[in-house]
Amino acid sequence: MQTAKDTAIPKELLWDYKEPPDDLIWRLQRIAEFFPAYGSDAENIRMLFKYKDRLKLDYGKYRLIELYYEVLNEKTSK
């Protein structure tokens, strides 16, 4: 299971922090805010989808994460 420390935050998303907080939801929220420019790898997509109900997302971003997750599952099931 992925933990907060396993969820890497690109330096470009840390303009207001020297180091990211050790809080999984904070890290996922920051990635979600800039998705899909950042965080569109398989593990981040899975984590964003898993915690999507705990993140503050507008409907479009919510659906975009769902679509990426669906496509990821289609690719891995073939």
Q: What is the pLDDT of residues 10-69, one digit of tens each?
A: 899 999 999 989 999 999 999 999 999 999 999 999 999 999 999 999 999 999 999 999
**What's the predicted TM-score (pTM) here?**
0.88
Supply the pLDDT for residue 77. Answer: 76
The answer to whether position 77 is within a domain reads yes
Domain span at residue 78 reads 40-78
The label of the residue with tokens 């569109």 reads: 40
Phi, psi (rounded to 5 degrees) for 67: -65, -45
The answer to whether position 63 is within a domain reads yes
- Work out how many domains the chain is built from and give that number: 1
Q: Does the CA dihedral 13-14-15-16 come out positive or negative? A: positive
